Amino acid sequence: DAMVIQNPRYQVTQFGKPVTLSCSQTLNHNVMYWYQQKSSQAPKLLFHYYDKDFNNEADTPDNFQSRRPNTSFCFLDIRSPGLGDAAMYLCATSRAGREQYFGPGTRLTVT
Strand partners for 64? 78
Closer to other proteins by Cβ: residue 14 or 109: 109
- The DSSP code for 84 is G
> Judged by CB under 8 A, which of 13, 63, 73, 104 binds other proteins?
104
Letters for 21-60 (x = contact with other proteins by CB under 8 A, - = none) are ----------x--------xxxxxx--x-x----x-----
Min CB(99)–other proteins separation in Å = 5
The answer to whether the CB of 110 falls within 8 A of the CB of 13 is yes
Letters for 60-99 (x = contact with other proteins by CB under 8 A, - = none) are ------------------------------x-x-x-xxxx
- DSSP H helices, 1-111, are none
Q: Please give the helix or strand (H or E) that residue 73 lies within, else none.
A: strand 73-78
**Do the bridges between strand 19-25 and strand 4-7 make them parallel or antiparallel, or are there none, so unpaired?**
antiparallel
Min CB(82)–other proteins separation in Å = 23
Positions touching other proteins (CB under 8 A) are 4, 31, 40-45, 48, 50, 55, 90, 92, 94, 96-105
